[in-house]
Amino acid sequence: AQKITQTQPGMFVQEKEAVTLDCTYDTSDPSYGLFWYKQPSSGEMIFLIYQGSYDQQNATEGRYSLNFQKARKSANLVISASQLGDSAMYFCAMREGRISGAGSYQLTFGKGTKLSVIP
Amino acid sequence: NAGVTQTPKFQVLKTGQSMTLQCAQDMNHNSMYWYRQDPGMGLRLIYYSASEGTTDKGEVPNGYNVSRLNKREFSLRLESAAPSQTSVYFCASSGGQGVGYTDTQYFGPGTRLTVL
């Protein structure tokens, strides 16, 4: 089974409107972290927002917020007031396991959602 | 502060040729990673290194070797390139500690490799 599922291959949104990008995850570990990255057409991977499994509140970073529904195992990214520069691929990723000192924690990525912002 | 840098940006190889992709980070991170990105596949982990002197296999290690040269540098080597290794390769690093630490990975700009 896929650990990270992004069911929307492509999305369109009107400039200045809000958009939600879906992400569901699958893990049996009680400790995990969820990340969203943006990949514009130039190709770089840009970190947007993080949500920990024990975080009580939904994460927010400027126009980005994460709608975290633990029981449903979903971590949807909400972009408010879309801008033309938001057109990009968006990837959801998960780190399983509790962080405890030194070590590497692998990320598992979804296949991404291509967001197009229409003027 | 350059973050994570990768060289080269583009490379074309013939089947059977070898090459090394270079990665360096200036964030004093302990952990470094190599991913490949294929169309429609997201990013998949090739190898990672938790600290200087240690390396471990990821999801798709076959056909690759890595070297953690020092804390800053982590290289990926293709000994005998195959067309199936045509991909975009990303290096990433993470590190830090303390309250609120999330182990966020920060990525380099990528290397676009074509194997003919």
| pLDDT at res. B101 | 72
* The pLDDT of residue B98: 66
**Coil, strand or helix at A74:** strand
Question: Is the minimum CB–CB distance between B48 and chain A shorter than 8 Å?
Answer: yes
pLDDT for position B42? 85
Residue with tokens 């975080």: A55
Residue B100: pLDDT band with limits 50, 70, 90? low
Instruction: Confirm or reject contact between B65 and chain A (CB < 8 A).
Output: no
Instruction: Kindly give, in sequence order, each residue whose CB lies less than 8 Å from that of residue B90, ignoring residues fewer than 6 positions away.
Output: A45, B6, B34, B35, B36, B37, B43, B107, B108, B110, B111
Evaluate if residue B55 carries a pLDDT over 60.
Answer: yes
* CB contact (8 A) between residue A111 and residue B50: no
Percent of chain B at pLDDT > 70 equals 95
pLDDT at B26: 93
Asked if A44 and B43 come within 8 Å (Cβ–Cβ), the reply is no
In angstroms, how far is CA B93 from the centroid of its own chain? 9
pLDDT at A101: 57
Q: Is B38 a residue whose pLDDT tops 70?
A: yes
Rounded to 5 degrees, what angle do the CA atoms A35, A37, A43 make? 155
**Average pLDDT of chain B?**
92
Contacts of A72 (CB under 8 A, 6+ apart): A24
**pLDDT for res B84:** 96
Q: What is the pLDDT along chain A (119 residues), one digit of tens a residue?
A: 679 999 999 999 999 999 999 999 999 999 999 999 999 999 999 999 999 999 999 999 999 999 999 999 999 999 999 999 999 999 999 998 776 655 667 899 999 999 999 99
Whose CA is closest to B23, among B61, B67, B54, B60? B67
Q: Which of B37, B102, B111 to mutate to test the interface with A (most CBs of A within 10 A)?
A: B102
B65 vs A29: CA distance, rounded Å? 30
